């Protein structure tokens, strides 16, 4: 689903950047995993 909006590499980069700062909101996390 999100793959249409963001390339996988970019999504992983965003997740890697945000995860250490604070837990991702559940909706954000589901969006990353669902794609």
At 35, the pLDDT band (50, 70, 90 cuts) reads low
Confirm whether pTM is higher than 0.85. Answer: no
- For the chain, the average pLDDT equals 72
The residue range of the domain holding 28 is 2-34
Q: Where are the alpha helices (DSSP H) in the chain?
A: 8-18, 26-34
Asked if residues 24 and 18 have their Cβ atoms less than 8 Å apart, the reply is yes
Check residues 2 and 18 and name the one with the higher pLDDT: 18
Instruction: Provide the percentage of residues in the chain whose pLDDT is more than 70.
Output: 51
Please count the structural domains in the chain: 1
At 28, the pLDDT band (50, 70, 90 cuts) reads confident
Q: Which of 9, 1, 5, 4 is nearest to 35 (CA)?
A: 1
């Amino acid at each position: 689903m999100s793959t249409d909006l963001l390339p996988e590499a970019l999504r992983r980069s965003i997740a890697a950047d945000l995860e250490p700062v604070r837990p991702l909101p559940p909706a954000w996390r589901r969006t990353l995993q669902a794609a």
